């Protein structure tokens, strides 16, 4: 059984909020490779959700 439209919207919004939070942390420490990798993964997930 799939997710409802409301659930998909909530999931996407939570991913976007987490992305913003990680980008804020990355501004303070741009050399942190783990943060950069997490940001890339979240961006991929958000793009997948749009499609």
Query: In terms of pTM, does the model score above 0.85?
Result: no
pLDDT tens-digit series, residues 21-35: 999 999 999 899 999
Closest CA to 25 of 34, 12, 15, 13: 34
Closest CA to 16 of 50, 4, 51: 50
Domain carrying residue 44: 5-50
pLDDT at residue 26, as a whole number: 93
Compute the Cα dihedral for 36, 31, 34, 17 and give only its sign.
Answer: negative
pLDDT at residue 2, as a whole number: 82
Give me the number of domains the chain comprises: 1
Whether 7 has a pLDDT exceeding 80, the answer reads yes
pLDDT at residue 49, as a whole number: 79
């Amino acid at each position: 059984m799939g997710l409802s439209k409301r659930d998909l919207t909530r999931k996407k919004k939570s991913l976007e909020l987490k992305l913003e939070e990680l980008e804020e942390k990355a501004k303070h420490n741009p050399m942190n490779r783990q943060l950069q990798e997490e940001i890339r993964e979240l961006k991929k997930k958000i793009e997948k959700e749009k499609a």
